[in-house]
């Protein structure tokens, strides 16, 4: 299971999910959760010591992020034939990356069991983008301690699962290089600077998702809310839809146990070979 986090988060968002997946699959299904470009502990291999300049000029176009994922898989598993079959799971922006990476990986002969997209629907996300700025304005500039950061996320219901927040939040804050100028910890990824890329991240997501030649899973939080393209696709049986109750946008953090059940069942169903039954997307 290759997990790609959403904008502003890190691979640690999937920590609790990874534990549950390991338990449920009895160790048969591993989890590879990455920190994508400009997030978590991923840094540029560069002679330049000036980390400040590096963050601001990070190119987070969807094509670059997709290539990053493909190149990462190619590096971790150089030989597609001996590589395990992969289940691409992406949350929000990560969903868009996973959907675009799938055909590229298949071209390179990697076996993709399925693509799981967590809580992102193209039309509604694009509609909500103008509100992102006010959302970001409502966030503090930083925190005085990791504990304070965890508390803020839990209090504002950004993450409803305290245990997961405790693990994942340290991945999204960094010590302030100039502590005298502000709070002790800053956001690892200044999301405001990524604004130029937002629209391109999600445009075309629904159609690309429906066109992937593998098993497709969409997990939504709270309500079954689909845009027209996905609704027609769902009514024609083109993908599996799971709606989880009592979770927020951070589905994988809020209820890792339930999501792990869904993902492991999805993986098992599409992974096993049944004589005489073609897999989804197989001609």
Query: Where along the sequence are the contacts to another protein (CB under 8 A)?
Result: 215-217, 222-228, 231-232, 235-240, 242-243, 266, 269-270, 274, 276-280, 282-283
CB of 123 to another protein, least distance (A): 8
Determine which one of 68, 119, 254, 255 is catalytic: 119
Based on the residue annotation, tell me whether 249 is a catalytic residue of this protein: yes
CA torsion 232-89-170-37 (nearest 10°) is -90
**Dihedral (CA of 57, 41, 114, 16) sign:** negative
Give whichever of 138 and 223 is closer to another protein, judged by the CB atom: 223
For the CB of residue 101, give the shortest distance to another protein in the complex, in Å: 19
State in angstroms the smallest separation of the CB of 90 from another protein.
Answer: 18
72 CB contacts (<8 Å, ≥6 apart)?
A: 34
For tokens 């991945």, name the residue: 171
50 carries an active-site annotation:
no
Of residues 39, 91, 249, 252, which has the active-site annotation? Answer: 249
**119 included as an active-site residue:** yes
Nearer to another protein, 135 or 243 (CB): 243
Task: From the candidates 10, 13, 68, 92, give the one annotated as an active-site residue.
Answer: 92
What is the C-alpha to C-alpha distance for residues 165 and 230, in angstroms, rounded to an integer?
A: 31
In order, the DSSP letters of 210-265 are: HH-SSEEEEEEESS----HHHHHHHHTT-SEEEEESS--S-HHHH-HHHHHHHHHH
In the complex, what is the shortest distance from the CB of residue 258 to another protein, in angstroms, rounded to a whole number?
13
CB-facing half-sphere around the CA of 125: CA atoms within 13 A:
23
Rank residues 78 and 228 by Cβ distance to another protein and give the closer one. 228
Provide the annotated active-site residues. 92, 119, 249
């Amino acid at each position: 299971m290759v997990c790609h986090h959403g904008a502003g988060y890190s691979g640690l968002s999937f920590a609790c999910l990874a534990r549950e997946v390991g338990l449920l699959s009895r160790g048969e299904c591993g989890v590879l959760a990455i920190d994508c470009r400009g997030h978590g502990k991923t840094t540029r291999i560069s002679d330049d010591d000036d980390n400040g300049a590096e963050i601001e000029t990070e190119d987070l176009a969807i094509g670059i992020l997709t290539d990053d994922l493909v190149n990462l898989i190619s590096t971790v598993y150089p030989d597609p034939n001996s590589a395990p079959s992969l289940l691409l799971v992406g949350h929000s922006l990560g969903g868009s990356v996973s959907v675009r990476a799938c055909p590229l990986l298949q071209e390179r002969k990697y076996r993709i069991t399925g693509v799981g997209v967590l809580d992102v629907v193209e039309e509604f996300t694009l509609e909500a983008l103008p509100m992102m700025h006010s959302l970001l304005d409502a966030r503090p500039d930083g925190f005085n301690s990791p504990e304070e950061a965890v508390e803020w996320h839990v209090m504002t219901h950004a993450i409803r699962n305290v245990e997961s927040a405790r693990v994942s939040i340290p991945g999204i804050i960094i010590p302030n290089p100039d502590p005298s100028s502000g709070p002790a910890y800053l956001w690892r990824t200044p999301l405001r600077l990524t604004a130029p890329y937002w629209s391109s991240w999600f445009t075309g997501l629904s159609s690309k998702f429906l066109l992937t030649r593998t098993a497709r899973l969409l997990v939504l939080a709270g309500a079954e809310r689909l845009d027209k393209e996905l609704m027609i696709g769902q009514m024609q049986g083109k993908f599996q839809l799971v709606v989880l109750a009592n979770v927020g946008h951070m589905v994988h953090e809020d209820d890792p146990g339930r999501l792990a059940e869904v993902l492991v069942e999805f993986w098992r169903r599409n992974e096993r070979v049944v004589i005489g039954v073609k897999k989804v997307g197989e001609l």
